[in-house]
A and B are shown apart, each in its own frame.
Chain A
Amino acid sequence: MLIELLKEWNVYKEPIEPNAINPVELEAIHDSKYIDAIEQVSSGAVLNGIDIFGLGNSDNPISLGMAEGARYQVGGTVLGAKLLIENKAKKVLQLGGGFHHAHHNLASGFCLYNDLSMAITEMVNHGWHVAYLDIDVHHGDGVQEMFYSNGNVMTISIHESGEYLFPGKGWLHELGQGSGRSLKLNIPLEPFSEGDSYFEVLEKVVKPALSWFKPDALVVQAGADAHFADPLADNLLTTHDYEKIFRQIIDYADKSCNGKVLFTLGGGYSSTATPRIWALLYLILNNLEMPEYLPENWKNHWEQILGKTIPNTLHDKLPAYEIIPRRDEILKINKDVIRRLMDSVSQYWI
């Protein structure tokens, strides 16, 4: 949907085609038995005991060719890392990827292979310090876990609190281990959190974190599922908020790591909002003008396929939703979360 939209606007540039990563390379972050199991069932083999790898349930069903698909996604994100390392680009957008729930030996939450961790590993092997920022509404548990005691990688995840949302992790007290201590930051927000809370997190947590850590590059998981229309979660970002967040992140990258930033997509389950959010990201990164309206052809075509009404503008119309009764309380709780996190890490950030 996204690509058709960009094509309709005549702004779509053919992307650089990645090669799928090969299974052996994935052993840098995944268990070889896990990789084996995925590769085999993906080519039609029937295996017993794959439940322990989290495969074959409703979130991670088995389908033919899924391994190749996942490896192609990893290839794309790793290619993005290489473009930054080789100085061929400063800002890279991978039009896919973002599989942050994939663990060392466990498929979870629609994720098989962790493209983000592979890309970060590529950068770390090049001697870089890498900051990872995850704005998907779900906690970036797979990435955090793989680098939990790694002193070269800072992970920051802004998500709806695990009390309410999958995967039930990403608490304030998860601060990292050993040399990774104070480098793993989690901001669990109240359900129905709005843009203001996100901006405050960016200003009071992300900004000081990046300026203290001074990464060589920033990797961003730009999940669109914190949008108010998303059916899987509760947070209430509008497209206007997303635009501001994207611009802010790019500004931080310019100031803290010489502009080197790799964006991936991520979760986003509202078919009417997600393409508009990622189109914004594409337009911003390419310094293009923002069209006010969506192309009529595109809108009609997809409305027929989806059986849903798509707004006729790129941005959400405001006010986008009714005022939340608990608004002030939510804001207060989120402020407190920020304060507690900064209190915990400030003793380390010297």
Chain B
Amino acid sequence: MLIREVMHLNPISISPETSLSDTYNLMNDNNIRHLPIIKNDLLVGIVSDRDVRLATSKFAKTSYEPGTMISEIMSHPVETTRPSEPIEVAIQTMRQFKIGCLPVLDDYKLVGIVTVANLLDAMLLMTGVHYPSGRLDVRLKDRAGEIAKLTKLIADRNINIHSILSYPDANGKLRVVFRVSTMEIRPLAKAICNADFEVLWPIQASCVE
């Protein structure tokens, strides 16, 4: 999945001269937490609602007046991403720098913004929960042909696999979570179990009838 598939288009941005109070109100009115700062069509900084609140807090070492220009407190340089970047790279960037959003630049132009919420939505989409389906969780040997063997079992029953998600498990095994469009998940789980796969979900699926 690529950034362009999950990003917000046409994000709201502000100029470096915007006051802290205007910035704060703009965030509130639009129910957003990040604003990119643009000067001469170039991204020069970014600010979060937390930055604004901390800057004006009574507890801060230097407490700024509401009329202060945003350029005084904005973060820069800015970590960014591009539309063609895979989301897993962007997620690593965000985790590395402990930030909650990345402006998306294309040829130095701001074309979008991606936040943690977008990435959670993407994750949810990958799990296939949006389609009427049943959940199947299997532990496999992490080697060639195992998934093929398993999916053939499902295909032979004329059941459509709506989504596949996999991740490494302990002891060199692989966990694969399917969403399959069938009401008869238990008979399917039984068949898979009988073919010597370890079925973890549905729970209490037993092999032999």
* Chain A contacts to B: CB under 8 angstroms: 51, 54, 57-59, 61, 101, 103, 106, 108-110, 138, 141, 163-169, 191, 231-232
B132 near A58 with CB under 8 A, answer no
Q: Which of A166, A191, A232 has the most CB of B within 10 A?
A: A166
Pick the residue among A57, A106, A168 that contacts B179 (CB under 8 A): A168
A232 near B132 with CB under 8 A, answer no
Q: Separation in Å of the A27 CB from the closest CB of chain B?
A: 22
Q: Which residue of A lies closest to B135 (CB)?
A: A168
A57 near B159 with CB under 8 A, answer yes
Give Cα A231 to B188, complex, Å: 12
Q: Which residue of A lies closest to B154 (CB)?
A: A58
Give Cα A58 to B159, complex, Å: 6
For chain B, the count of residues having a C-beta within 8 Å of the partner chain is: 20
| Residues on A with beta carbons closer than 8 Å to the beta carbon of B179 | 168
| Residues on B with beta carbons closer than 8 Å to the beta carbon of A51 | 160
A164 near B203 with CB under 8 A, answer yes
CB-CB contacts of B55-70 with A at 8 A, as 1s and 0s?
0000000000000000
Q: Which 9 A-B pairs give the minimum distances between C-beta atoms?
A: A167-B132, A58-B158, A166-B134, A108-B132, A166-B183, A109-B183, A58-B159, A57-B160, A59-B182
Q: Separation in Å of the B127 CB from the closest CB of chain A?
A: 9
B135 near A163 with CB under 8 A, answer yes
| Residues on B with beta carbons closer than 8 Å to the beta carbon of A101 | 132
- Asked if B75 is an interface residue, CB under 8 A from chain A, the answer is no
- Asked if B93 is an interface residue, CB under 8 A from chain A, the answer is no
Give Cα A334 to B133, complex, Å: 23
| Residues on A with beta carbons closer than 8 Å to the beta carbon of B202 | 164-165
B160 near A106 with CB under 8 A, answer no
Give 25 CB contacts A-B under 8 Å.
A57-B158, A57-B181, A58-B159, A58-B184, A59-B184, A101-B132, A106-B132, A108-B181, A110-B183, A141-B132, A163-B135, A164-B201, A164-B203, A166-B134, A166-B183, A167-B132, A167-B133, A168-B129, A168-B134, A168-B135, A168-B179, A169-B129, A231-B187, A232-B183, A232-B184
